[in-house]
Amino acid sequence: MQKAKPELIAAAGKKFAQFRELTEKQGEENAWESMLEGFPELQKQRMGPLLALPSLAEGFRAAVPFFSAVGMDMDVVDISNRGVDAVLEIQRYCPYLEICLEYGFDTPCRVICELDMEASHRAFPEMSGEILSRQALGSPVCIFKYQRPGRISSTK
């Protein structure tokens, strides 16, 4: 099994600690919205160039080196069909499973994955996503599905 890079663990620790503190002060829903402040804009900066590629599959494949660099093991499957540009992001290794417990969370999903997915949707409203499988709930991999309307090809 892979080991996450120390910078990923440190960033995750800060995120869990911040969410825990905000939840205690404001309640979970307000903490959730506070954590999202500025995050969609950051997602636009990070993901915008990747999502500008002709397909989601190309964009997500371009992100694989980043995920590998921080110790994650990601595969991308193009599931585009019927006029929908769609991709499965498969994560074989969840570096957050153990660290979330240190901060009093049963699973990392709400603080990491669901927050990232919501920020991505707010940044790119034409794209929707859902979590299909979670290692934290006993699955062997995490699977995220993202989709958006297919782009019209200029080569007709």
Q: pLDDT tens digits, residue range 67-97? A: 888 888 999 999 999 999 999 999 999 989 9
For the packed helices 28-36 and 39-51, what is the interaxial angle rounded to 10 degrees?
Answer: 50
27 lies in a domain? yes
CA distances in angstroms from 113 to 12, 41, 42, 83, listed in the order given: 11, 17, 15, 27
Instruction: Check: CB of residue 144 under 8 Å from CB of residue 88.
Output: yes
- Taking the C-alpha atoms of residue 118 and residue 127, their distance in angstroms, rounded to an integer, is 11
Angle at 17 between CA 29 and CA 48, to 5 degrees: 70
Q: How many domains does the chain have?
A: 1
Within-domain flag for 156: no
Assigned token pair, 124: 């790119």
Q: Is residue 120 part of a domain?
A: yes
Has residue 29 been placed in a domain? yes
The answer to whether the predicted template modeling score (pTM) of the entire model surpasses 0.85 is: yes
42 in a domain, yes or no? yes
Q: What is the DSSP letter of 73?
A: -
pLDDT classification of 24: cutoffs 50, 70, 90: very high
Q: What is the pLDDT of residue 151?
A: 76
Q: What is the CATH number of the domain that holds 26?
A: 3.30.1380.20
> Quick check: is 41 in a domain?
yes
Q: Which residue has tokens 């991709």?
A: 87
